[in-house]
Amino acid sequence: MSTHPDARRVLDAAPRQLYVAGAWRDAEGGATMPVEDPATGETLCEVADASVADGAAALDAAVAAQRDWAATPPNERSEVLHRAFTLMQERSDDLALLMTLEMGKSLAESRGEIAYAAEFFRWFTGEALRIDGYFKQAGNGQSRVLVMKQPVGPCLFITPWNFPAAMGTRKIAPAIAAGCTMVVKPAEQTPLSMLALARLLEDAGLPPGVLNVVPTSSSSELAKPLIADPRLRKLSFTGSTEVGRTLIAQASEQVLKTSMELGGNAPFVVFEDADLDAAVEQAMVAKMRNMGEACTSANRFHVQESVAEEFAARLTAKMQALTLGHGADEGTDVGPLIDADQRGKVAELVDDAVSKGATAVTGGGIRDGAGYFFEPTVLTGVPTDARLLKEEIFGPVAPIATFTTEEEAVAAANDTEFGLVAYLFTRDLSRALRVSEALETGMIGLNQGLVSNAGAPFGGVKQSGLGREGGNEGIAEYLETKYVAVKL
């Protein structure tokens, strides 16, 4: 484990039990599962490993709490969120360190995620007070149309390991604001951050049963009967498209309302008129945030031929200056990948590209020693048949391909089944608008490498998902529309 002076204190204080119906309790039969430090491969601790019966108990609690929570005044729901935002700020250092220990990212990045996660509590503090409908005269003048918005009901949230706090608050905050109860199944690799959020919300005054957290090593076994239960009314998942397809199929049996934030294959397009200094700086943000383990990570770089060599040289210099190490150690820029499987997938994609003619101008391999480290890598001369131009890398690898014309750039950027986010760098306003309209993605970073914002609608098109999280659109995912025809 890290030698950080607060590591043991923070780990010992972290909750490790299930949180069901407002109570902390062991899993059925006392079952536990290990939480690993990806920087060392060592076990940090054991947490409760929920069974199918534990999942059912969590849904029972959410269903039992739904009526009262839906009837809770918006002011009170808003106040819970505001207290949660304040507590998250107060506890940010400990929450960040806990995240680093179980997920691997640097403390600087963990602090950034905690700040981002807290913003969803702040944003939906206001949205809880802005749920509205309307009243109007019918066209025939003989009746009135009354439209209201009501909470959809009990929800199941399945959250990923790469942003274990923010992907939780992005779902939990709007559900609280809308008046929905929930069962949360965090990623097996990173349950501690979600359990810490449950404790924080308990301290913020969230009533028992509104939030229930059930970490498990048997995700599909626990989730499947919950999705099939007619009392569940919404499913929200963040993760791979492959798993998302399976969950959508399961959800269709109950015609569940679904939100899916799935895989990405983000193109990073640099035109010759771009500010190259800014493009390289933002490329580092878009590529190396979270060690490249982000659905929004720049997956492939399409650079106009006339500036490709210069862009690659500057990006390489930046990547070579990064320091690998334990995320909790001072001076670390790049932590480990989440586990051996993920590191193996990254290595396989790099090897495939190199075997087909790409050149690794820096990095390209697994670092020797403990932990799941992969070297920051830049590949040039990447051929069109390289798998990493089609598949999500989820690691610190920047493949660079070139284009000649604007039409070629757009075609290359859109040549994927995914459509989450794209990054576009140009100083030509007309080109920026043309290309932004032509790109088949739900989000675009125009001359910037970061699009995440609690006040903006996050989500994709094509096989990158359904629905939006955050922004004005975020709370709509947790509301149903009811129309009342009023006879005069």
pLDDT along the chain (488 residues), means of 10: 88 98 98 97 97 98 98 98 98 98 97 98 98 96 96 98 98 98 98 98 98 97 98 97 97 97 97 98 97 96 98 98 95 96 96 97 93 97 94 97 98 97 98 98 98 96 96 96 95
Q: What is the DSSP string of 431-454?
A: HHHHHHHHS-SSEEEES-S----T
**β-strand partners of 374:** 366
- What's the pLDDT at 479? 98
For the whole model, what pTM was predicted? 0.96
Domains, the chain, ordered by start: 6-262+465-487 (3.40.605.10), 266-446 (3.40.309.10)
Helices and strands in the chain: count of H runs, count of E runs: 15, 22
Q: What is the DSSP string of 162-183?
A: SSTTHHHHHHHHHHHHHT--EE
End-to-end CA distance of the chain: 71
Mapped onto helix, strand or coil, the DSSP state of residue 383 is coil
Report the C-alpha gap between 186 and 194 in whole angstroms: 7
Contact call for residues 91 and 85 (beta carbons, < 8 A):
no
- What's the pLDDT at 7? 94
Contact call for residues 40 and 327 (beta carbons, < 8 A):
no
Residues 250-298 have pLDDT tens digits of 999 999 999 999 999 999 999 999 999 999 999 999 999 999 999 999 9
> Among 36, 202, 261, 375, which one carries the catalytic annotation?
261
Contacts of 434 (CB under 8 A, 6+ apart): 406
Active site residue 202: no
- What's the pLDDT at 2? 78
Report the C-alpha gap between 59 and 341 in whole angstroms: 32
Contact call for residues 336 and 342 (beta carbons, < 8 A):
no
Q: What is the DSSP string of 307-359?
A: HHHHHHHHHHHHHHT--B--TTSTT--B---SSHHHHHHHHHHHHHHHHTT-E
